[in-house]
Homo-oligomer: A and B are copies of this chain.
Amino acid sequence: MAGYQHILLAVDFSKDSELVGFRAVQIMEKYEARLTLLHVVANVYEEPVYDLMSSFPVDIEEKLIENANRSIESLAEKLGLPDAERIVEMGTPKTTIVQAAKQREVDLIVLGSHGVHGLGLLLGSTANAVLHAATCDVLAVRVGN
């Protein structure tokens, strides 16, 4: 059986992202695989709470993407991945993660999965949705228990 060759690490920049990242790096090293970092900036205009903002002059999306680019650089540095490809995309997390994996012929998606406590029911849903829709293997790294 072929080993993993291309790992997609999907991060949300929560406090557990480094933990999830270090697990992905560990597997990358064991398999001598490529690793791509992905952060999805949730499309604010799809969220009802932001409806009022659509008339603001400030380009919120641009700011969010700028911030995400800085955060992904910082995370790549902490994980010791200066050369890994970084992707920041706007969209729905589930769909964007699954599509990015398909487009790049990723064979393993690594992402964090929150437990059933606290915000878990809400936050855990991306991992579940990705697991359901992905066409490759998915490693859900348990965080926040």
Contact = CB atoms under 8 A, between A and B. Distances in A.
A31 B135 CA distance: 25
A124 interface: yes
Interface string A112-145: 0101100000001001100111111111111001
A109 B129 CA distance: 18
B139 A116 contact: no
Interface residues of chain A: helix, strand, loop or mixed (majority):
mixed
B22 A1 contact: yes
B138 A113 contact: yes
A122 B22 CA distance: 33
Contacts of A22: 1
Interface in A92-110: none
Contacts of A113: 131, 138
Contacts of A128: 128, 131-132
Nearest to A113: B131
Contact of A133 (B23, B116, B131, B132): B116
28 contacts: A1-B19, A1-B22, A1-B23, A1-B26, A3-B26, A30-B30, A30-B31, A113-B131, A115-B135, A116-B132, A124-B131, A124-B132, A127-B131, A128-B132, A131-B131, A131-B140, A134-B142, A135-B142, A135-B145, A136-B142, A137-B139, A137-B140, A137-B141, A137-B142, A138-B139, A138-B140, A139-B139, A140-B140
